Amino acid sequence: MFVPVTNPEAVAEVAEKTTVLIRATVEYISRLNEIADLTTLTVGAYGFDYAVTVPVNEKLALIRKLSDLTMAIEDEFEVKITTHAVAGPPRRPTRRARASSKRT
């Protein structure tokens, strides 16, 4: 498919903004991995870009961390990315945690 370019400056601007958005998203997801379980990451709703499921007893603490992450990325990249914390069941112990508890 061929798309004629009528404004070369606009093409450069879109390319630059796309690159910034990609870099911001990679950085956001990388930092999100440090505070939330990415295995629960889904497409967001209600105006959020993403959603993660978090145990009910951890939700309030995570909301603060998500807010800080959103502001940090916005300050650094001038891009707003948001994640909704969805309350879910308590965490199940990981295999490693279950194995170590059986040894004691």
Do the Cβ atoms of 83 and 34 come closer than 8 Å? no
Residue 91 pLDDT grade (very low, low, confident, very high; cuts 50, 70, 90): low
* Domain with 47 in it: 8-103
> What local confidence, expressed as pLDDT, does residue 53 receive?
95
- Is 81 strand, coil or helix? coil
Mean pLDDT of 23-45: 96
The Cα–Cα gap between 65 and 32 comes to 9
Domain-located, residue 18: yes
Instruction: Pick the more confident residue, 71 or 9.
Output: 71
Compute the half-sphere exposure of residue 11: CA atoms within 13 Å on the CB side of its CA: 6
Domain at 99, CATH number: 3.30.300
Confidence bin at 14 (pLDDT 50/70/90): confident
Number of structural domains found in the chain: 1
Does residue 6 surpass a pLDDT of 90? no
User: Angle CA(17)–CA(39)–CA(68) in degrees, nearest 5?
Assistant: 50
Residue 67 resides in a domain:
yes
Q: What is the pTM of this model?
A: 0.77
Domain membership of residue 2 (yes or no) is: no
User: Counting every residue, how long is the chain?
Assistant: 104
